[in-house]
Amino acid sequence: MNMEVNKIFAAILTAGIVGMLCWFISHEVYEKEPLEKNAYEIAGVPSGGESGAAPAAAEKAEPIDVSKGDVALGAKISSVCASCHSLGKGEPAKIGPNLFGVVGGPHAHMEGYAYSDAMKAHASEKWTEAALNEFLWNPQKTIPGTKMTFMGLKKPEERAAIIHWLETQK
C-alpha cells in the first residue's frame, strides 16, 4: 500500500514539474513584444506602445456644424440606432423610444415610453443640435443614469451626419 501511494505522489509531482516546464518554455519562446500601434483604435484605450496611462478624456463633445453632416452617412449610422430604436413615423418603441421627429422635440418625447428618472428630469428640455451632439458623444456622461447604454459616437463627423439625417425624419 505504501508503495502505491509513493507511485501516485511521484506521478502527480512529475506531471506538475512537466507542466511548469512547458509553461516556462512556451512563454520564453513565444514572448510577444507590445505593438507600436493597435491595429484598430478604440476610443479611451491606449495603444500597445504607449504607457498604461489612458489619454486624457475630453470633458465634453466638441461643437459640430450639423449642416455639413453627410445625410447618407447618417442613414448608414442609423442602422446602429435601429437595433434599439424604431425610426419610422408612428412605430412602437423598442428597447429605446422611437426617434422619428426627435430633433426639436422634448427629451422625453414619446408618449407612454418608460424613460429613466434621469431622462425624465430633462423632460422639459428640447433636443437641439447641440444637446444631441453632447448626448450622442457620451450618453452616460451627459445624462448620468440614462437607460441608453450606447458608448457614444466619438467622431464629430458621425455625430453631425446622424443629427442631420434625424432632421430629415419629420
Choice among 11-15, 31-35, 151-155 with the minimum mean pLDDT: 31-35
Instruction: Please give the average per-residue pLDDT across 146-152, as a whole number.
Output: 90
Q: Measured on CA atoms in the order 123, 126, 130, 132, is the torsion positive or negative?
A: positive
Q: What phi and psi, each to the nearest 5 degrees, are found at residue 50? A: -85, 165
Whole-angstrom Cα distance, residue 155 to residue 158?
5
Would the pLDDT of 14 be above 90? yes
* Single pTM value for the model: 0.65
CATH classification for the domain delimited by 66-168, as one of 3.90.209.20, 1.10.760.10, 3.40.630.30, 3.30.230.10: 1.10.760.10
Residue given cell 426627435 in the structure block:
102
Are the C-beta atoms of residues 8 and 15 closer than 8 Å to each other? no
- DSSP annotation of 90 reads T
**% pLDDT > 70, the chain:** 88
Strand partners, 163: none
Short-list 34, 27, 67, 66, CA closest to 52:
34
Please state, in angstroms and as integers, the Cα–Cα distance from residue 93 to each residue in 19, 49, 87, 105, following that order: 55, 44, 9, 16
User: What's residue 2's pLDDT?
Assistant: 81
For the segment 75-133, what is each residue's pLDDT rounded down to a tens digit? Answer: 999 999 999 999 999 999 999 999 999 999 999 989 899 999 999 999 999 999 999 99
User: What's residue 45's pLDDT?
Assistant: 61
Look over the chain and give the mean of its residue pLDDT values, rounded to a whole number: 87
**Structural domain spans, the chain:** 66-168
For the segment 29-52, what is each residue's pLDDT rounded down to a tens digit? Answer: 876 777 777 777 766 666 555 444
Would the pLDDT of 55 be above 90? no
